[in-house]
């Protein structure tokens, strides 16, 4: 009976590691370039007749095939978040299937190219896992952001990273939107998440943030390798932060310019409980404005640069403990057993 | 004889406080908007027949006339450093007097407008003092940046700010270029400096940085008021950091992409002495590159976002102690005495 408590999930054959979805979030840009360079070096090695040895290694370890993708090369070139529109909002079915004639924004065209390479979204041919690399100006440490709080692959990867990188503050954020509304690049994979690390100014790369991202990606790929090779991962509880609402800056009613900044006592305190009546903003003339909500919630994306234009000064989450079951890869033999229903 | 040791300098009748010279350096943008709003409120008060009382106060205190200027409104609108070219490099005599037909970049046009309002540069009608507000992603605290290490007005203002704001790390940076080569907005005034505060990501406003800038500007205006009103400011020594050279990132010889970031042991350590062989960069593959110079120097603008495109990873300065003489305003009576040469 004990075996039955282990959830069996399909092998993760292909993992996409994407950076530069926002062209000025530089850790991911340079990490993907490093991965692409590494692949070039691997390919050169292979030319030197080392292919056989490598294949033997792979058969033992069962690593996934890794696709490194620079998602928005034109925005990267200009070191801007985007050229025409935010690429990471272009992966809805509506945008992917919309008209392709007329003035189609660059990022919409690019989202369709990426969907062709990594998807199609929702289809059987989509890559098994998309890890999309992001940076934030908020003091958020390393976060995995996903649409599901019951994607056991993402949640087990998160726990693995937490264990492997104990010095990095780490949280799992859940954006609760229905399947039809998912809009970001990571939604193209069968599983997917954004790996968001901060604080780092956009247009800047900081060694410590780059190193954390590199380690995070390496541990993620290691985990996939362990998973594919047949390791069982024990069930456990995971804290999940589910996004509840966004709060905008106070704005001038005429000009729509902001009239206050995040209060100094809230700045950099992402994931520290915000209670009713706590200081929220400080106006440019020096007045304190307080949190008027009724429920204590966890703030995050506090003072994220790119969200000024989206009308988001911070987001608020509710924390929940989620029981994540033990998982193991579904072997071919096992899949046949499952299909025959013998142990169901 | 003691009186003769006091350098007499002309009154500072008009002070320009400029923000948004770089449109994404937001502390100055919001501070100038606040000043403009304040002036609007003052004007409304004046309408309410409070003019007389105000004039009496002014005669006692002798405050300067303050011009608040949003220097690059189009870049501010787009929250970018600039639209066509860096405005803060457009105030050379060559750019100001260049051809006005053909495809003149927006910022060159704007520099001429500003020169007409605040200058003309080098002319007798120029404003007495330009304070241009900037932010940096580098951990520089509050810096005054000027072209002269013997501008006693700027150096006394610096000392006043140091005394009034003891909790803010503060330095005086000297860019040693000849008069003909000065290129920044503050060079339009008879005296001028950039007030540079960080760390703050571009496109973000942090309450603590905004508050430091607001206090810095207020103390500067207070000092000008004291000066105009006849206070004597004692002579004293000031540490001046003179810029010696810039260091670029290591770059790929083909793509020109950077191949390393500032080393974690150097990051955020602006104005901490960098010695030969100290770690300088960490490559994206993890290697440490060391400082190969022969002389220990003071690094600043470490990892400034806007300087990636200028090929500057950090700048290096030599520290010197400058004797700043006592100063006092040149009164009209005194000016006559000086002209007659009685006490010379």
pLDDT of B4 higher than 80: no
B203 contacts A202? CB cut-off 8 A: yes
What pLDDT, on a 0 to 100 scale, did the predictor assign at position A100? 82
A305 contacts B203? CB cut-off 8 A: yes
- A194-204 pLDDT, tens digit per residue, is 999 999 999 99
CA A165 to each of CA A143, A168, A206, A240, B228: distance values in angstroms, whole numbers, following the listed order: 12, 6, 18, 18, 59
User: What average pLDDT does range A4-11 have in this prediction?
Assistant: 90
Cis peptide before B199 (omega within 30 of 0): yes
- B237-258 pLDDT, tens digit per residue, is 999 999 999 999 999 999 999 9
Dist CA B4 CA B15 (whole Å): 27
Q: From the CA of B284, how many Å to the nearest CA of chain A?
A: 7
What pLDDT, on a 0 to 100 scale, did the predictor assign at position B344? 34
B261 contacts A207? CB cut-off 8 A: yes
Is any Cβ of chain B less than 8 angstroms from the Cβ of A143?
no
pLDDT of A57 higher than 60: no
pLDDT of A231 higher than 50: yes
Is any Cβ of chain B less than 8 angstroms from the Cβ of A252?
no
Unique residue bearing structure tokens 């007798």? B124
| Alpha helices by DSSP H, B11-123 | 26-45, 51-61, 73-78, 93-96, 106-118
Which pair of tokens denotes residue A198? 């901060």
Q: Interface pTM (ipTM) of the complex?
A: 0.91
A204 contacts B267? CB cut-off 8 A: no
- Per mean pLDDT, which range of A55-59, A62-66, B157-161 is the poorest? A55-59
User: What average pLDDT does range A280-286 have in this prediction?
Assistant: 97
What pLDDT, on a 0 to 100 scale, did the predictor assign at position B41? 72
Q: Using DSSP, state whether B233 is helix, strand or coil.
A: strand
- Per mean pLDDT, which range of A37-51, A164-178, A208-222 is the poorest? A37-51
Unique residue bearing structure tokens 């990132």? B249
Percent of chain B with pLDDT over 70: 89
pLDDT of A39 higher than 80: no
Dist CA A195 CA A198 (whole Å): 10
User: What average pLDDT does range A259-272 have in this prediction?
Assistant: 98
Give me the count of residues in chain B: 344
Which pair of tokens denotes residue B49? 């027949």
Cβ under 8 Å to A: B residues 285-314 = 285, 303, 305-306, 308-309
Is any Cβ of chain A less than 8 angstroms from the Cβ of B139?
no
Which pair of tokens denotes residue B196? 């540079």
Q: Closest Cα partner for B304 from B211, B148, B194?
A: B194
Unique residue bearing structure tokens 């000024």? A308
pLDDT of A62 higher than 50: yes
Dist CA B309 CA B22 (whole Å): 15
Contact residues, chain A, for B206 at CB < 8 Å = 261-262, 264, 267, 303
Cβ under 8 Å to A: B residues 163-202 = 199, 201-202
Residue of B nearest to A209 (CA): B264
pLDDT of A322 higher than 90: yes
Contact residues, chain A, for B213 at CB < 8 Å = none
Is any Cβ of chain A less than 8 angstroms from the Cβ of B210?
yes
Dist CA A36 CA A33 (whole Å): 5
Residue of A nearest to B206 (CA): A261
pLDDT band at A300 (very low <50, low <70, confident <90, very high): very high
What pLDDT, on a 0 to 100 scale, did the predictor assign at position A3? 44
Q: Closest Cα partner for A119 from A172, A177, A69?
A: A69
User: What average pLDDT does range A134-156 have in this prediction?
Assistant: 98
Give the up-direction half-sphere exposure of residue B87: CA atoms within 13 A in the CB hemisphere: 33
Dist CA A225 CA A227 (whole Å): 5
B261 contacts A210? CB cut-off 8 A: yes
Percent of chain B with pLDDT over 90: 83
Is any Cβ of chain B less than 8 angstroms from the Cβ of A261?
yes
pLDDT band at A334 (very low <50, low <70, confident <90, very high): low
User: What average pLDDT does range B200-210 have in this prediction?
Assistant: 98
Count H helices, E strands: chain A? 8, 14
Contact residues, chain A, for B263 at CB < 8 Å = 207
Q: From the CA of A279, how many Å to the nearest CA of chain B?
A: 12
Beta bridge partners, A129, equal A15, A191
Q: Please, which contacts does B179-184 make with residues 24 or more away whose CB atoms are closer than 8 Å?
A: B179/B122, B179/B147, B180/B92, B180/B93, B181/B92, B182/B91, B182/B92, B182/B147, B183/B88, B183/B89, B183/B90, B183/B91, B183/B92, B183/B95, B184/B88, B184/B89, B184/B91, B184/B132
Percent of chain A with pLDDT over 90: 83
A261 contacts B210? CB cut-off 8 A: yes
Q: Report which secondary-structure segment, H or E, holds B203.
A: none
Dist CA A274 CA A287 (whole Å): 19
Residue of A nearest to B263 (CA): A207
User: Which of B46 and A183 is assigned the larger pLDDT?
Assistant: A183
What pLDDT, on a 0 to 100 scale, did the predictor assign at position A333? 63
Count H helices, E strands: chain B? 8, 14
Please give the DSSP secondary-structure letter assigned to residue B274. B
Residue of B nearest to A38 (CA): B285
What pLDDT, on a 0 to 100 scale, did the predictor assign at position A60? 64
Which pair of tokens denotes residue B6? 């006091």
Q: Report which secondary-structure segment, H or E, holds A223.
A: helix A207-228
Pairing of strands A14-19, A65-70: parallel
Supply φ then ψ for residue B42, to 5 degrees.
-60, -45
Unique residue bearing structure tokens 């205190």? B61
Query: Contact at 8 Å (CB) between B145 and B193?
Result: yes
What pLDDT, on a 0 to 100 scale, did the predictor assign at position B119? 97
Is any Cβ of chain B less than 8 angstroms from the Cβ of A269?
no
Unique residue bearing structure tokens 């810029």? B243
Q: In whole numbers, what is the pLDDT of chain B averaged over residues?
A: 92
**Cα maximum dimension of chain B:** 72
Residues with Cβ within 8 Å of A188's Cβ and at least 6 positions away in sequence, in order, are A91, A114, A115, A118, A119, A120, A121, A126, A127, A130
Neighbours of B164 (CB within 10 A): 16
Dist CA B45 CA B51 (whole Å): 8
What pLDDT, on a 0 to 100 scale, did the predictor assign at position A58? 52
B202 contacts A303? CB cut-off 8 A: no
C-alpha Rg value of chain A to the nearest Å? 21
Is any Cβ of chain A less than 8 angstroms from the Cβ of B282?
yes
B205 contacts A267? CB cut-off 8 A: no
Contact residues, chain B, for A33 at CB < 8 Å = 257, 284
Unique residue bearing structure tokens 């990594």? A118
Query: Contact at 8 Å (CB) between A197 and A256?
Result: no
C-alpha Rg value of chain B to the nearest Å? 21
Query: Contact at 8 Å (CB) between B314 and B246?
Result: yes
pLDDT of A267 higher than 90: yes
Which pair of tokens denotes residue A179? 């399947």
Geometric angle at alpha carbon B304, from B303 and B308, rounded to 5°:
85
Q: Report which secondary-structure segment, H or E, holds B192.
A: strand B191-198
Supply φ then ψ for residue A319, to 5 degrees.
-95, 135
A263 contacts B204? CB cut-off 8 A: no
User: Which of A306 and B100 is assigned the larger pLDDT?
Assistant: A306
- Per mean pLDDT, which range of A126-135, B279-288, B323-332 is the poorest? B323-332
pLDDT of A338 higher than 60: no
- A29, A40, A168, A204: which to substitute to probe chain B, counting the most B Cβ within 10 Å? A204
pLDDT of B42 higher than 50: yes
CA B275 to each of CA A42, B132, B271, B302: distance values in angstroms, whole numbers, following the listed order: 38, 32, 12, 15
Contact residues, chain A, for B135 at CB < 8 Å = none
Contact residues, chain B, for A263 at CB < 8 Å = 207
pLDDT of A337 higher than 60: no
B284 contacts A210? CB cut-off 8 A: yes
Contact residues, chain B, for A31 at CB < 8 Å = 284
Pairing of strands B170-174, B191-198: unpaired
**From A206, A285, A305, residue closest to B267, measured CB to CB:** A206
Is any Cβ of chain B less than 8 angstroms from the Cβ of A262?
yes
Residue of B nearest to A204 (CA): B305
């Amino acid at each position: 009976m004990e075996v039955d408590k282990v959830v069996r999930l399909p092998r993760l054959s292909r993992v996409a590691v994407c950076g530069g979805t926002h062209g000025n979030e530089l850790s991911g840009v340079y990490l993907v370039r490093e991965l692409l360079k590494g692949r070039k070096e691997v390919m050169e090695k292979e030319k030197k007749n080392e292919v056989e040895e490598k294949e033997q290694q792979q058969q033992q370890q069962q690593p996934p095939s890794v696709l490194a993708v620079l998602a928005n090369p034109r925005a990267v070139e200009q070191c801007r978040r985007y050229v025409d529109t935010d690429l990471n909002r272009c992966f809805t079915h509506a945008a992917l299937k919309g008209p392709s004639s007329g003035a189609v924004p660059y990022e919409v065209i690019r989202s369709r190219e990426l969907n062709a390479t990594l998807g199609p979204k929702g289809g059987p041919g989509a890559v098994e896992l998309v890890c999309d690399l992001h940076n934030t100006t908020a003091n958020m440490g390393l976060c995995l952001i996903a649409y599901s709080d019951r994607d056991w692959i993402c949640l087990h990867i998160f726990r693995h990273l937490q264990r492997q990188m104990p010095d990095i503050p780490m949280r799992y954020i859940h954006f609760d939107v229905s399947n039809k509304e998912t809009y970001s690049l990571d939604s193209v994979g069968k599983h997917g998440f954004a790996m968001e690390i901060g604080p780092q100014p956009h247009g800047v790369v900081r060694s410590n943030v780059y190193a954390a991202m590199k380690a995070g990606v390496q541990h993620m790929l290691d985990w996939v390798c362990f998973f594919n090779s047949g390791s069982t991962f024990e069930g456990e509880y995971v804290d999940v932060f589910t996004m509840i609402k966004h709060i905008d800056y106070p704005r001038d009613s005429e000009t729509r310019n902001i009239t206050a900044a995040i209060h100094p006592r809230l700045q950099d305190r992402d994931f520290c409980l915000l209670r009713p009546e706590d200081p929220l903003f400080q106006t440019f003339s020096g007045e304190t404005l307080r949190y008027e909500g009724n429920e204590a919630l966890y703030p995050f994306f506090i003072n994220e640069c790119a969200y000024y234009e989206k009308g988001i000064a911070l987001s608020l989450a509710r924390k929940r403990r989620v029981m994540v079951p033990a998982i193991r890869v579904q072997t071919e033999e096992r899949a046949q057993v499952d299909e025959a229903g013998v142990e169901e």
